[in-house]
């Protein structure tokens, strides 16, 4: 005898709540492109501190077309990014939005976050193809907005925490850096972290490594512009085979989980550290269990992980694909499997976990 299942009851009110939530999300998705547009065209910078402007004034100050600017402003006003005064027909940027959208030195600076998100979305049709085949998609294959957005997204957090909190949380490392230490920054991308450390510790020498040639070229330019090129040498070399030995400190910022063979990379770190050296691992903040990450930060990171981190790892040998939300327990497994004997969490922010591994 077959049992006929009753159709599940659909609650009309809940259905409409979900539909309206989706309207908000589609608006937010499109706003990612509008924020990048506002950043690239200088619209936020022109609005910041300028008081209330009419669309024509903003267009004139930025060399853009009034009709586009007016439509962009209305979308920004509807999303609460700019304030609109119906009496005067003018728009202004509230001071908090001005910091978050125009102050590149603020830890709250957001344009890079939107830029890497837009780049990820642009590449998403190719990721959908790879999801069918199971093949990977390398970091180097992405559009430039992913590479530059990544640099601009992470740099404010490193600015705020790296020198002031994370390095001092490591056992004895700051004293070594002040005396003059040998440092390798592996998976350095555009070198934001390497340059910050070089500026803070003029007696130390730094090597930055990344397998992506294009990122290394940009890192060299950034080091020249920052006036620290004499103490940083950037090399296009992979984490499992970078050059040099007897490093006092090896750092990896938001990249261990992107690697195909993080255990192989960890073994190489162990082989290139001095006997008393330290490996600092900065990873996205995540709990060990999926249900601990079902929150706004976890949502953004799982999405980046689907579009960037997991395909990046799958594109390389081994393809362990830890994912951006690996969590402390899996990172510890990687570190211990490579032969490190000491591992501890030394710091955290809402976005990052910081670990210390010692031989
Ligand atoms: C999310 S980005 C982080 C870049 C940089 N550390 C930062 O914080 O801005 C990940 C970086 O890891 C690099 N990467 C991935 N796999 C690598 C490997 N096997 N060896 C060296 N670098 C690797 C990528 O090229 C990319 O620059």
pLDDT at 221: 98
| Region 267-277 average pLDDT | 98
CA distance 190 to 152: 9
| Region 339-347 average pLDDT | 98
Q: Is the pLDDT of residue 4 over 80?
A: no
CA distance 321 to 136: 10
Q: How sure is the predictor about 7, in pLDDT bands with cuts at 50, 70 and 90?
A: confident
Tokens of 337: 């499997």
| Region 232-248 average pLDDT | 98
Mutation probe of ligand 1 site: the residue of 258, 259, 264, 351 with most atoms within 8 A of C-beta: 258
Mutation probe of ligand 1 site: the residue of 255, 281, 311 with most atoms within 8 A of C-beta: 255
Average pLDDT, whole number, for the chain?
97
pLDDT in tens, 48-73: 999 999 999 999 999 999 999 999 99
| Region 159-188 average pLDDT | 98
| Region 19-34 average pLDDT | 96
pLDDT at 318: 97
pLDDT at 2: 56
Sheet holding 232-235, edge to edge: 232-235, 205-209, 182-186, 247-253, 273-284, 352-358, 342-348
pLDDT at 5: 75
Q: How sure is the predictor about 34, in pLDDT bands with cuts at 50, 70 and 90?
A: very high
CA-nearest residue for atom 10, ligand 1, is 255
| Region 243-271 average pLDDT | 98
**Of 3 and 164, the one with more pLDDT:** 164
pLDDT at 289: 97
Residue the block writes with tokens 């409409």: 16
pLDDT at 8: 86
User: Which of 109, 130, 93, 118 has the alpha carbon at shortest distance from 31?
Assistant: 118
Q: How sure is the predictor about 174, in pLDDT bands with cuts at 50, 70 and 90?
A: very high
What residues line ligand 1, using a CB cutoff of 6 Å? 139, 150-151, 154, 187-189, 192-193, 210-212, 215, 238-239, 253-255, 258-259, 312, 316
Judge contact between 242 and 186, C-beta under 8 A: yes
Q: Which atom of ligand 1 is nearest to the CA of 252?
A: 6
Percentage of the chain modeled with pLDDT above 70: 99
pLDDT at 6: 77
CA-nearest residue for atom 26, ligand 1, is 189
pLDDT at 170: 98
Beta partners for 90? 85
Q: Is the pLDDT of residue 350 over 80?
A: yes
Q: Measuring CA to CA, how many Å separate 156 from each of 192, 219, 303?
A: 9, 17, 21
Q: How sure is the predictor about 342, in pLDDT bands with cuts at 50, 70 and 90?
A: very high
* DSSP label of 141: G
CA-nearest residue for atom 9, ligand 1, is 151
Q: How sure is the predictor about 119, in pLDDT bands with cuts at 50, 70 and 90?
A: very high
Percentage of the chain modeled with pLDDT above 90: 97
Measure 210 CA to ligand 1 centroid, in angstroms.
6
């Amino acid at each position: 005898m077959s049992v006929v299942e009753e159709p599940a009851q659909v609650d009309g009110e809940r259905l409409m709540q979900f539909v309206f939530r989706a309207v908000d999300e589609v608006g937010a998705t499109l706003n990612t492109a509008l924020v990048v547009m506002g950043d690239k065209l200088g619209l936020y910078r022109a609005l910041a501190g300028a008081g209330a402007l009419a669309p024509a004034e903003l267009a004139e100050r930025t060399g853009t077309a009034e009709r586009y600017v007016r439509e962009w402003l209305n979308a920004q006003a509807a999303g609460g990014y700019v304030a609109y005064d119906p009496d005067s027909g003018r728009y202004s940027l509230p001071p908090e939005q001005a910091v978050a959208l125009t102050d590149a030195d603020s830890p709250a600076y957001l344009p890079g976050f939107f830029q890497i998100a837009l780049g990820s979305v642009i590449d998403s049709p190719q990721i959908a193809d790879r999801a069918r085949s199971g093949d990977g998609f390398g970091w180097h294959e992405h559009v430039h907005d992913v590479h530059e957005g990544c640099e601009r997204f992470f740099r404010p957090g490193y600015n705020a925490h790296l020198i002031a909190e994370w390095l001092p949380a490591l056992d004895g490392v700051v004293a070594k850096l002040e005396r003059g230490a040998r440092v390798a920054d592996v998976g350095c991308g555009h070198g934001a972290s390497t340059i910050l450390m070089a500026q803070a510790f003029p007696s130390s020498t730094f090597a930055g490594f990344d397998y992506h040639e294009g990122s290394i070229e940009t890192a060299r330019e950034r080091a020249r512009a920052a006036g620290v090129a004499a103490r940083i040498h950037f090399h296009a070399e992979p984490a499992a085979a970078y050059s040099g030995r007897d490093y006092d400190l090896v750092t990896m910022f938001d990249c261990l989980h992107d690697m195909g063979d993080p255990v192989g990379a960890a073994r190489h770190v162990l082989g290139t550290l001095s006997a008393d050296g330290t490996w600092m691992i900065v990873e996205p903040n995540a709990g060990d269990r999926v249900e601990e990450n079902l929150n706004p930060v976890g949502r953004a990171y799982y999405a980046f992980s689907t579009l960037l981190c997991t395909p990046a790892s799958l594109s390389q040998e081994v393809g362990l694909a830890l994912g951006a939300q690996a969590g402390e327990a899996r990172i510890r497994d990687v570190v211990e499997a490579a032969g490190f004997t000491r591992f501890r969490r030394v710091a955290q922010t809402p976005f990052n976990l910081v670990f210390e591994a010692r031989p």
